[in-house]
């Protein structure tokens, strides 16, 4: 895995967010970057691409 999520989301077409071993979100990078669940559990409220 790559722990630099900002750089990773800038180069992929789709991304998947795993939470407790399950895919909870999938979609285009921009969609995940703006999703409230992704922000709350993984990215942080101030995340931006």
What are the sequence ranges of the domains in the chain?
Answer: 5-43
Q: Alpha-carbon distance 38 to 11, whole Å?
A: 18
Contacts of 33 (CB under 8 A, 6+ apart): 9, 43, 47, 48, 49
pLDDT at 42 over 70: yes
Dist CA 23 CA 46 (whole Å): 23
For the whole model, what pTM was predicted? 0.73
Residue 25 token pair: 């979100």
Contacts from 8-11 at CB under 8 Å and sequence distance 24+? 9/33, 9/49, 10/49
For 1-40, write each residue's pLDDT tens digit: 556 888 999 999 999 998 889 999 999 999 999 999 899 8
């Amino acid at each position: 895995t790559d722990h630099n999520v900002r750089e990773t989301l800038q180069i992929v077409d789709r991304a998947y967010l795993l939470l407790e071993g399950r895919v909870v979100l999938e979609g285009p990078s921009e969609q995940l970057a703006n999703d409230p669940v992704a922000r709350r559990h993984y990215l942080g409220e101030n995340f931006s691409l």
